Amino acid sequence: MTMSDMISELDFFTSAIQAGAILAGFCGTFLAFRIQREAEFYRTPEKSYKQQWFSIAFILIIFGTLVSVIFGVVFPLLKLANICPSISPSVVVGGFFAAIILIAGYFLVELLHYHLFDRFDREWQREVPVAGITIFLAAVSILWGIF
């Protein structure tokens, strides 16, 4: 590996950490909102017309947050510290794509949940396929980056 390649790889992983921190902060904000909202329903169920529960959208934002932190912060830091030199830029990029897909799936499931696309009452029949496809595409993105 030439000095130029090492500098460009250093620039890539430094930029990846910056982008990963921004994405993880974005996810953390939505995750905090969801946790606060669910905690409020739990503390005062009389203010809600129905009890809330752990939803598919909540799972997607948790996965999106974890993937963005792991691939956008932890892996680049491990590479820069030369703790795990086998981490390549394509692994990080695959993880970023997975995080973006999970976050997009989160928003799509929320839009479906609140009937912003239509007025059908079969929430789970609409949400589960979107969540399944989202998780599948995120996994493919990670595998694409690894191989």
Q: What is the pLDDT of residue 87?
A: 95
- Residue 36's domain spans which residues? 3-146
- Those residues whose C-beta lies under 8 Å from the C-beta of residue 51, and which sit 6 or more positions away, are 41, 45
Maximum C-alpha span of the chain: 66
In this prediction the pTM is: 0.74
- The CATH number of the domain where 26 resides is what? 1.20.120
Distance of CA 90 to the CA centre of its chain: 17
Q: What is the pLDDT of residue 18?
A: 95
Domain count within the chain: 1
Over the chain (147 residues), the average pLDDT of each successive run of 10 is 73 94 92 82 65 78 95 96 93 95 92 69 70 91 86
DSSP H or E stretch at residue 96 = helix 89-113
Query: Cα dihedral angle (33, 94, 71, 83), rounded to 10 degrees?
Result: 180
Query: Cα dihedral angle (79, 68, 65, 75), rounded to 10 degrees?
Result: -10
